[in-house]
């Protein structure tokens, strides 16, 4: 039986053994992997191990299985087919903050196989010599958060596994502040408020519905806003999410009678047509790091704020004569 010895690198450390091996050897069936672990055909530092054994940089894995499971195919990287065009708000050796433009998807889907934000990031880092897939067992630069295709704003990317773990935990613990700008239809009676609702997702329709009262399967949402300016029958808001749900801002504002301008799913088609906006007027424009627990290799970011240089719809908003719609 063919044998291979794998040294665990810094980017591999901290993972469960089974998850690491399934990523490192995509041809390996899950059932075969667990059988190999039971029969001691997988050893960690020469000793028996378990599927949930945690890996540490410097560990040596010895694996025995058929040659076909070691094969990974030709090195033809799809991400090299993506453009390298990126708008970088901030970059250091650990992370990138990217200003994603509306119209660009963050991850490939069935319709867009090659061009996506993550593919552009990997292409960019590959050309800089900061990402070498052939040197990695399982890690690839990854996005920490996502934004809808037709929404723009700041997306975080991690260049190494430690940064990815830290940022994922900080997102989970809500130690990041994300602020959005949006234009909504009409004038809001309350110029600042905390909205609470209950969101139900309809997967088949790819949309959500907001109820004022709890119901089975509904998830609580909380959306805070303040009105920055009003003109031409529209209001410019700054919004922060105290929960992060699918289409939350778009659906929540529509549920109180103030849909986003340009929103074809939750908005008003007659108004959208008169405004002539290509996408919904929503942008994740500011990101702040507010760590309340240790952040390891990213501790230096604590207290820092980052803002995109431009929000595409602000010029349109301030051209009152163009946005003076009948609402």
User: In this predicted structure, which of 108-117, 272-281, 291-300 has the lowest mean pLDDT?
Assistant: 108-117
Q: Give dist(CA 168, CA 145) in Å, integer.
A: 8
| C-alpha pair distances (Å), 190 with each of 8, 25, 67, 225 | 56, 56, 67, 10
pLDDT at residue 225, as a whole number:
98
Residue 327: is its pLDDT beyond 50? no
Most confidently predicted of 55-59, 60-64, 75-79, 93-97: 93-97
Higher pLDDT, 118 or 111: 118
Q: What is the CATH number of domain 78-172?
A: 3.30.2350.10
- Tokens found for residue 106: 């963050």
Find the Cα–Cα–Cα–Cα dihedral 136, 138, 141, 145, rounded to 10°. -170
Do the Cβ atoms of 316 and 322 come closer than 8 Å?
Answer: yes
Report how far residue 216's alpha carbon sits from residue 11's, in angstroms, rounded to the nearest whole number: 41
Q: Helix 30-38 to helix 17-24 angle, to the nearest 10 degrees?
A: 130
Percent of the chain residues topping a pLDDT of 90: 69
Contact indicator for 123, 96 with CB cutoff of 8 Å: no
Q: Do domains 3-69 and 78-172 have the same CATH topology?
A: no
CA distances from 299 to 150, 290, 302, 303 (A): 32, 10, 6, 9
Averaged pLDDT, 243-260? 94
Q: Which fold has domain 176-318?
A: Pseudouridine synthase (3.30.2350)
* Residue 112 pLDDT exceeds 80: no
pLDDT digits (tens, 9 = 90+) for 61-74: 999 988 887 766 55
**Domain layout of the chain by residue ranges:** 3-69, 78-172, 176-318
pLDDT given at position 258 = 96
Q: Mean pLDDT lowest for which of 72-81, 272-281, 287-296?
A: 72-81
Judged against a pLDDT cut of 70, whether residue 182 lies above it is answered with yes
Which candidate, 104, 109, 62, places its Cα nearest to that of 85? 104
145 three-state secondary structure: coil
Segment 102-117 shows an average pLDDT of 86
The 3-state DSSP class for residue 325 equals: coil
Of the chain, the percentage scoring pLDDT greater than 70 comes to 95
pLDDT in tens, 314-324: 988 887 545 45
Question: Of 257, 18, 23, which Cα lies nearest the Cα of 136?
Answer: 23
Query: Which CATH architecture fits 3-69?
Result: Roll (3.10)
pLDDT higher than threshold 80 for residue 85 = yes
Collect all residues with Cβ–Cβ distance below 8 Å to 145 and sequence separation of at least 6.
155, 156, 171, 178
Task: Determine which of 111-120, 146-155, 159-168, 212-221 has the lowest per-residue pLDDT on average.
Answer: 111-120
What residues are paired with 200 via a beta bridge?
A: 209
pLDDT of residue 24: 83
Which candidate, 138, 135, 109, 104, places its Cα nearest to that of 121? 104
Per-chain mean pLDDT for the chain: 90
pLDDT by residue (tens digit) across 184-220? 999 999 999 999 999 999 988 889 999 989 988 899 9
């Amino acid at each position: 039986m063919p044998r291979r010895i794998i040294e665990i690198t810094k980017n591999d450390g901290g993972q469960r053994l089974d998850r690491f091996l399934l990523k490192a050897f995509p041809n390996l069936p899950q059932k075969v992997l667990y059988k190999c672990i039971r029969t001691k055909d997988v050893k960690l530092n020469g000793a028996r191990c378990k599927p949930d054994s945690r890996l540490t940089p410097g560990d040596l894995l010895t694996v025995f299985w058929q040659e076909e499971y070691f094969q990974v195919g030709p090195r033809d990287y799809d991400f090299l087919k993506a453009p390298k065009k990126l708008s970088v708000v901030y970059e250091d050796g650990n992370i990138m903050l990217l200003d994603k433009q509306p119209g660009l998807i963050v991850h490939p889907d069935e319709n867009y196989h090659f061009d996506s934000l993550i593919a552009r990031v990997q292409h960019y880092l590959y050309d800089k010599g900061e990402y070498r897939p052939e040197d990695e067992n399982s890690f690839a630069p990854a996005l920490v958060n996502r934004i809808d295709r037709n929404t723009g704003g700041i997306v975080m990317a991690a260049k190494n596994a430690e940064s990815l773990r830290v940022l994922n935990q900080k997102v989970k613990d809500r130690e990041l502040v994300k602020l959005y700008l949006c234009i909504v239809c009409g004038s809001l009676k309350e110029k600042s408020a905390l909205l609470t609702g209950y969101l139900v997702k309809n997967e088949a329709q790819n949309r959500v519905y907001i109820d004022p009262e709890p119901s089975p399967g509904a998830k609580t949402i909380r959306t805070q806003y303040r009105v920055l300016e009003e003109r031409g029958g529209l209001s410019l808001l700054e919004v922060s999410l105290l929960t992060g749900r699918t289409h939350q801002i778009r659906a929540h504002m529509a549920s109180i009678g103030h849909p986003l301008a340009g929103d074809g799913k939750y908005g008003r088609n007659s108004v959208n047509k008169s405004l002539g906006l290509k996408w919904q007027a929503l942008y994740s424009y500011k990101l702040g790091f507010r760590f309340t627990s240790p952040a390891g290799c990213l501790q230096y970011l604590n207290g820092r704020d980052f803002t995109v240089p431009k929000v595409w719809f602000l010029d349109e908003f301030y051209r009152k004569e163009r946005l003076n719609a009948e609402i």
